[in-house]
Amino acid sequence: MPKRPDKNRRSNRGPKRRPGHPRFTKPQEKRAAPLPNEQEVEGMRLNKYVAHCGVCSRRQAAEYVKEGQVTVNGEKVTEPGYQVREGDKIAFRGKVIRPENKLVYLLLNKPKDYITTAKDEKGRRTVLDLVGNKVQERIFPVGRLDRATTGLLLLTNDGDLAKKLSHPSHKVKKFYQVALDKPLAAADLEKISAGLELEDGKAIVDAVGYVEGGKKHEIGIELHIGRNRIVRRIFEHLGYEVTRLDRVYYAGLTKKDLPRGRWRHLTEKEVIMLKHFT
């Protein structure tokens, strides 16, 4: 006698489909969105293309183009707004470049006597020498710290982020600890706080004060302007010599657990902060 089906037992055949009722299918997994630099290059500005190749920031790329260091199909093009066409062969200093497929973000605690550039024509040590061959992608420093200045420096191949962090309209916060050759007078501290008029315009600071627990020749200064040697020039304008300058905070990033001369990859959370909240 055949066994009667168990009503409580679940069938592996699935529910009976009514005529005309659509069959349910397993939803397909969504593919990850392509990285920003995997987009089509057709119509892209030449300086933006160079930046996406991990050579430098978009602003610096525009300067390289104007200087004739970039060629398109073997010919020098000095207009940063040149529209790249599909199939164009772009070269920087004679070497063909292509957009990076992987975006890299490194935070470096720069020591003294290293040049903030990808390559130095005089053969001096650069910040990229500290990274060596441990990162295969072409990366470049965002902004500059002069040779004697130490502290936080971001290295990346993300041209769009570099442009954002470098542009004054985004008011990216930077905090420096400064050591002077003599105590800073209270009157001069007030002048700095009010904003000094330098040869290239007013130097506006967000905050300035004596380092807590330190002597009056140790100063903390916070600002968002990024003009060349701005911190040193502020104090030199008032007759002080900067004997030590260290950037301890940059765009929400700190030197915590990062010894001098060392670097680390940014966390995913830090990258999101820089891109969307800084």
**Of 38, 242, 258, the residue nearest 151 (C-alpha):** 258
User: Exposure string (b/e) for 102-131, b if CB count within 10 Å is 16 or more?
Assistant: ebbbbbbbbeeebbbbbeeeeeeebbbebe
Q: Which of 129, 146, 181, 200 is flagged as catalytic?
A: 146
CA distance 192 to 170: 22
Containing H/E element for 237? helix 230-237
CA distance 32 to 103: 15
CA distance 66 to 58: 12
* Beta strand segments in the chain, E: 70-72, 75-76, 90-92, 95-96, 105-110, 140-141, 150-156, 174-180, 196-198, 201-203, 207-210, 218-223, 242-250, 253-254, 263-265
Active site residue 146: yes
Q: How do beta strands 140-141 and 70-72 pair?
A: unpaired
The dihedral over CA atoms of 109, 115, 119, 123, expressed in degrees to the nearest 10, equals -130
Q: Which residues contact 237 (CB under 8 A, 6 or more apart)?
A: 196, 198
Contact 208, 174 (CB under 8 A): no
Q: Which residues belong to the active site? A: 146
